[in-house]
Amino acid sequence: MADEKLQIIRHSCAHVMAEAVLHLYPDTKIAIGPAIDTGFYYDFDFGEIKISDADFPAIEKEMRKILASNAEFVRKEVSKSEALELFKDQPYKVELINDLPSDAVITTYEQDGYLDLCRGPHVASTKEINGQAFKLSKIAGAYWRGDSDRQMLTRIYAVCFAKPHELKDYLKMMEEAEKRDHRKLGQELDLFHLDPEDPGQIFWHPNGWNMYVTLQDYIRAKIRKDGYQEVNTPAIMPRTLWERSGHWGHYQKNMFTTESEKKQFAVKPMNCPGALEIFNSRPRSYKDLPLRLAEFGHCVRNEPSGTLHGIMRVRGFVQDDAHIICTEEQIEAEVTKFCKLLLDVYKDFGFDQNLLVKLSTMPEDHVGTIETWQQAEAKLGAACKAAGMDYEIQEGEGAFYGPKLEFTLIDAIGRQWQCGTIQLDYQLPSAERLNAQYIGSDNQKHHPVMLHRAVLGSIERFMGILIENFAGALPTWLHFEQVAVVPVGTDFNDYAQEVADKLAGLGFRANAYTSDDNMKSKIKVLTSEHKVPYILVVGQREKDENAVCVRFRPSSGKQQQTMSVNDFVSYITDNVNNKSMTI
């Protein structure tokens, strides 16, 4: 989240937008209007009136008119009965008030004659909000209180900053982000499609699946070298297991359930109970620890359809998941080892600079004692420091079973993406949960602790991040088509096919383009649509000399050059083996 002062400005600006809306559409019913990461939104019930982004200029003009009044934000405390009277014509506010205890002290804020129910805080007056530093951005539907059985409201989003140049910079970034949108590029590159009849599920096409498998195999090779053993657990597991793990009580609303032979089951939303089932399948000794179990487990979560976003936020996904079962004494070493792995992986994608780390602490909805949580948070924080990483505290954002470190990378246009995570869990292996045990050096039974960790997070989401970060022009080692061989004319089709076959035989993703289309048309498509790293043009000279004329991807800045086929093989082999970010 942005700094506190900016969030106060944003929330205050949301009140100004609500006032402007009521000036223009007096019969509107208002709901809620919080600050968010880049601005704010407000939910409205416009009744029969249809609002679109064509109405934004009028609303913005009215907002600036209100800001020019330099009105103070006046806070007032009222009783519940007073609040109900004040907002009797606003049913959504009345519902919120009725949910409060009868003796609750309720606060209202008023500016320029507009009264809202709000805890605050707000700026002192509207003059603290710069009229050139906000912009209404989009409209969306939003169910009242997130309940699909309730009224659909109109949500108006806005971006808002303290100064105009910050807004300008943000809008420029968003313009660039729109060009890089993975949904648009996914269609242009023929990577995947999304079916509205099956929300949140991805249909991977050959190009996209090629990249997906390459990414998965890359991670698989990394973790094998780092001491992990790969496992696989069932997609559907019984309710009794999810009850013992705590997920049924704390996560059930996000789980898809089914029934067979009068027994309830759930499609797994996460892999951790399965890992402990493997651990518990036979007696374990302290000599077996740490046990690092990795799983590319397909998980399904019942995310609301309104929150889904391309392949970034889905219902069905695979994590580069692993669970490290270890002793308390091994926690620091294992977290340090994981941090080194994570940094090594991110470096291969060019994300090793300006990495942000956050320690998420005990949430309100949690299992286990406060003392255990405090111990876990202290150990995780100490391990992070031992790995040479600083972190900031993210209060109340831990998983229900334990605190976690979250790793946020920054992409080519400055956006932040939370990807890697490691969570310290005393709860699931405990006697009260899944009762994992090992025999210690003292010949007594002990409960291990478990570290839940992922480097990429969801592979689908990381794929989306990569597509946008590289604007579809991914590094050679990851791109779905590494080499395209184009003959200058049909007389050289056989030689083009021979070169492509040799490269394919060596494991490179290469194709020969031997259709009757002219060479320039082929190169244009391969450059702009396929974004191929290398286009090899072949004609009489190249055939005679067993050579190729290499055209590099335009963004590389390199001039085309003629190489022998063997020299090109050496060149691309080094590029791919070194996971080079450049062509």
At position 156, the amino acid (one-letter code) is I
Give phi and psi for 404, each to the nearest 5: -150, 155
Residue 16: DSSP 8-state: H
Rounded to whole angstroms, how far apart are CA atoms 395 and 390?
16
Q: Is the peptide bond before 121 cis (omega within 30 degrees of 0)?
A: yes
Q: 10 Å Cβ neighbour count for 141? A: 10
Nearest to 28 by CA among 48, 40, 46, 12: 46
42, 288, 466 from 433: Cα distances, Å: 42, 21, 38
Query: What is the C-alpha R_g of the chain?
Result: 28
Contact 20, 63 (CB under 8 A): yes
Active-site amino acid positions: 272, 301, 319, 321, 323, 404, 452
Rounded to whole angstroms, how far apart are CA atoms 379 and 357?
16
Rounded to whole angstroms, how far apart are CA atoms 22 and 32?
14
Q: What tokens were used for 219? A: 């991670």
Burial group, residue 264, by CB count within 10 angstroms (0-12, 13-18, 19+): middle
Q: What tokens were used for 327? A: 């002793």
Q: 10 Å Cβ neighbour count for 353? A: 9
CA angle 458, 290, 215 (to 5 degrees): 25
Give strand pairing partners of 410: 416
At position 561, the amino acid (one-letter code) is Q
CA angle 482, 485, 489 (to 5 degrees): 160
CA angle 204, 210, 214 (to 5 degrees): 125
Task: Spell out the SS3 assignment of 400-463.
Answer: CCECEEEEEEECCCCCEEEEEEEEEECCCCCCCCCCCCEECCCCCEECCEEEEEEEEEEHHHHH
End-to-end CA distance of the chain: 36
Rounded to whole angstroms, how far apart are CA atoms 121 and 112?
17
Nearest to 75 by CA among 32, 127, 9, 122: 122
200, 307, 309 from 304: Cα distances, Å: 9, 6, 11
| Half-sphere exposure (Cβ direction) of 329: Cα atoms closer than 13 Å | 4
At which residue do the structure tokens 């209180």 appear?
145
- Give the list of residues 6+ apart from residue 284 with CB closer than 8 angstroms, or none: 291, 437, 438, 439
Contact 435, 397 (CB under 8 A): no
Give strand pairing partners of 485: 512, 536
